[in-house]
């Protein structure tokens, strides 16, 4: 639970003490970490973190697989909790409300993407929830959700109903919005044939959203271990992704959630003419898939694009949609001392779906 002195620090305009779990370098195990967050500003809120989801992005970041990480690093950008303090000009929240924080905690607010509620594409650069220099606070490193609290602008937190299942809300703030946004962008709906490449935490959410929007959905997976789960969700068919060249079916939309090496053109070939492919999975830099000019030319009039989460307005829309239709990730709640084990399971394919940390275990 949030310690009483944290509230006093926030009210007095002091830096807010925090405790979390961090890695000290790309090869280390997680350990307890005492640190502090920036003081609560007039537009900020302090959230007592109750649940924090584990995303595959956390692993890539912790192991410096995308870029050299900022250490010590407290990962976590799937955050759900209770508002325990509010700044003098906050209007969106009051003490006692529930709130969520996703992959970003600020942006410039002045460029065209920001003005269009696409803060994730901020021209100056969004401030990521962790492993990022916060240019609003003297470039100090941001620390994520594997901790007992977070101080954040009210503009970068979403409203969560008090009766919502917080352990399932947390993963929606990355896995949910990351898949919801491109599915909406490509206007997936009734009569569309959709394929989801990869059936992990992101893939499951993509399947659920596409089905809810009326599409016929198939799945590509590297094995058939989850075929029963996929069919139970309403998937038409689960294909073996290692034999994609033998597939004769064609799709209107493909979303790739794959976080490991693969051939993009293998999937482009499965699009109908005029079809679209959204890429949301990001493998490590050294094995990042490439596609040359011939890959586009011989797959003419098919579109491929990347997508990064969604803006705060769309994230709130996604959360409201998910709660209305009871679309939740498949989760397993763990304690903080199981984080290393969860990372191992995620990287070896043993994980069923999404791990969520019960932050109440931090104090035990």
What CATH number does the domain containing 348 carry? Answer: 3.90.180.10
Does residue 220 sit within a domain?
A: yes
Q: Please indicate, yes or no, whether residues 288 and 336 belong to a single structural domain of this protein.
A: no
Q: Are residues 58 and 159 in the same domain?
A: yes
Across the chain, how many H-helices and E-strands are there? 11, 19
Burial of residue 105 (CB within 10 Å: 0-12, 13-18, 19+) is buried
Domain total of the chain: 2
Within 8 A by CB and 6+ apart from 42, the residues are: 87, 88, 89, 90
| Cβ pair 346, 54 in contact under 8 A | yes
Given a contact cutoff of 8 angstroms between Cβ atoms, the answer to whether 255 and 197 are in contact is: yes
Lowest mean pLDDT among 10-14, 88-92, 201-205, 305-309: 10-14
Q: Is the pLDDT of residue 2 over 60?
A: no
The Cα–Cα gap between 264 and 10 comes to: 48
Q: Percent of the chain having pLDDT more than 90?
A: 84
pLDDT score for 350:
80
At residue 3 the predicted structure's pLDDT band, cuts being 50, 70 and 90, is low
Average pLDDT over residues 295-318: 96
Spacing of C-alpha 98 from chain mean position: 19
CA gap 274, 280 in Å, rounded: 20
Q: Is residue 341 part of a domain?
A: yes
Mean pLDDT score, 4-21: 86
**Are 109 and 136 found together in one domain?**
yes
If asked whether residues 30 and 132 sit together in one domain, one would say: yes
In tens, the pLDDT along 263-303 reads 999 999 999 999 999 999 988 888 889 999 999 999 999 99
Residues 191 and 292 placed together within one structural domain of the fold:
yes
In a domain, 169, yes or no: no
Burial of residue 240, with CB atoms counted within 10 A of its CB: 0-12 exposed, 13-18 middle, 19 or more buried: middle
pLDDT of residue 240: 85
Distances (CA, A) of 38 to 14, 31, 43, 137, 271: 8, 22, 13, 7, 48
Q: What is the mean pLDDT of residues 120-126?
A: 97
CA distances from 99 to 43, 91, 138, 155, 354 (A): 15, 13, 26, 11, 20
Q: Does residue 262 lie in a domain region?
A: yes
Q: Are residues 8 and 155 in the same domain?
A: yes
What's the whole-number mean pLDDT along residues 130-140? 97
The candidate with the shortest Cα–Cα distance to 87, out of 49, 46, 135, 138, is: 46
Tokens of 345: 């399971």
Q: What pLDDT sits at residue 245?
A: 66
Q: Does 17 have pLDDT greater than 70? A: yes
Residue 338: both structure tokens together: 């199981």
The answer to whether residues 130 and 193 belong to one domain is no
Does residue 153 lie within any of the structural domains?
yes
Say if residue 230 is in the same domain as residue 338. Answer: no
Q: What is the pLDDT of residue 201?
A: 85
pLDDT at 131 over 80: yes
pLDDT bin (cut points 50, 70, 90) of residue 219 is: very high
| Domain contains 312 | no
DSSP 25-88: STTPPPEEEEEEEPPP-TTEEEEEEEEEEE-HHHHHHHTTSSS---SSB-----EEEEEEEE-T
CB atoms within 10 A of CB 201: 29
Q: What pLDDT, in 10s, does the model give residues 226-273?
A: 889 999 999 999 998 777 666 889 999 999 999 888 999 999 999 999
Domain that holds residue 123: 4-163+330-363
Instruction: Out of 306, 321, 347, pick the residue that ends a domain.
Output: 306
Assess if residue 320 is contained within a domain.
Answer: no
Statement to judge: residues 79 and 149 lie in one domain:
yes
Confidence (pLDDT) at 30: 98
* 135 pLDDT higher than 90: yes
| pLDDT averaged over every residue in the chain | 94
Q: What is the pLDDT of residues 93-102, one digit of tens each?
A: 999 999 999 9
Query: For 270, what's the count of Cα atoms within 13 Å in the CB-facing half-sphere?
Result: 28
Look at residue 244 in the predicted model and tell me its pLDDT. 64
Is residue 232 assigned to a domain? yes
Residue 70 reports pLDDT greater than 80: yes
Provide the percentage of residues in the chain whose pLDDT is more than 70.
98
Task: Give the single-character DSSP code of 14.
Answer: P
Rounded to an integer, what distance in angstroms lies between the CA atom of residue 183 and that of residue 318? 11
* 121-135, 172-186, 350-364: segment of lowest average pLDDT: 350-364
Confidence of residue 356 (pLDDT cuts 50, 70, 90): very high
User: What sign does the CA torsion over 102, 103, 108, 110 have?
Assistant: negative
In a 3-state reduction of DSSP, which class is residue 332?
A: strand
Q: Are residues 34 and 70 in the same domain?
A: yes
Does residue 174 carry a pLDDT above 80?
Answer: yes
One domain, residues 11 and 124: yes
pLDDT digits over 19-36, tens only?
Answer: 999 999 999 999 999 999
DSSP assigned state of 195: E
Q: What pLDDT, on a 0 to 100 scale, did the predictor assign at position 125? A: 97
Furthest CA-CA distance within the chain: 65
Peptide bond into 72 cis (omega under 30): yes
Q: What is the pLDDT of residue 312?
A: 98
CATH classification of the domain holding 236: 3.40.50.720
Q: Are 64 and 116 found together in one domain?
A: yes
């Amino acid at each position: 639970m949030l310690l009483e002195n944290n509230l006093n620090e926030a009210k007095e305009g002091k830096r807010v003490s925090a405790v979390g779990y961090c890695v000290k370098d790309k090869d280390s195990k997680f350990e307890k970490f005492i640190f502090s967050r920036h003081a609560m500003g007039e537009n900020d809120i302090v959230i007592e973190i109750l649940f924090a989801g584990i995303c595959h992005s956390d692993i890539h970041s912790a192991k410096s697989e995308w870029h050299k990480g900022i250490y010590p690093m407290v990962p976590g950008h799937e955050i759900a909790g209770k508002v325990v303090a509010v700044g003098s000009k906050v209007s969106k929240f009051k003490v006692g409300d529930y709130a969520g924080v996703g992959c970003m905690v600020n942006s410039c607010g002045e460029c065209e993407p920001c003005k269009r509620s696409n803060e994730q594409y901020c021209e100056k650069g969004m401030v990521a929830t962790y492993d990022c220099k916060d240019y609003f606070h003297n470039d100090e490193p941001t620390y994520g959700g594997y901790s007992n609290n977070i101080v954040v602008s009210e503009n970068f937190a979403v409203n969560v109903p008090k009766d919502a299942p917080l352990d399932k809300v947390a993963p929606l703030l990355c896995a949910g919005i990351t898949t919801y946004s491109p599915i909406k962008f490509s206007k997936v709906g009734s009569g569309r044939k959709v394929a989801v490449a990869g059936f992990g935490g992101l893939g499951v959410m993509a399947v659920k959203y596409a089905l809810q929007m009326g599409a016929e959905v198939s799945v590509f997976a590297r094995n058939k271990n989850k075929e029963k789960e996929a069919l139970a969700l309403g998937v038409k068919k689960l294909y073996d992704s290692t034999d994609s060249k033998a597939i004769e079916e064609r799709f209107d939309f493909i979303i790739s959630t794959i976080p490991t090496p693969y051939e993009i053109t293998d999937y482009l070939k499965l699009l109908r003419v005029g079809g679209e492919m959204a890429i949301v999975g990001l493998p490590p830099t050294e094995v990042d898939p490439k596609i040359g000019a011939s890959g586009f030319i011989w797959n003419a009039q098919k579109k491929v694009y990347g997508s990064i989460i969604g803006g705060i307005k769309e994230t709130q829309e996604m959360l409201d949609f998910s709660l209305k239709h009871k679309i939740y990730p498949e989760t397993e709640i763990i304690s903080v001392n199981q984080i290393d084990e969860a990372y191992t399971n995620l990287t070896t394919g043993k994980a069923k779906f999404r791990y969520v940390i019960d932050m109440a275990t931090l104090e035990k």
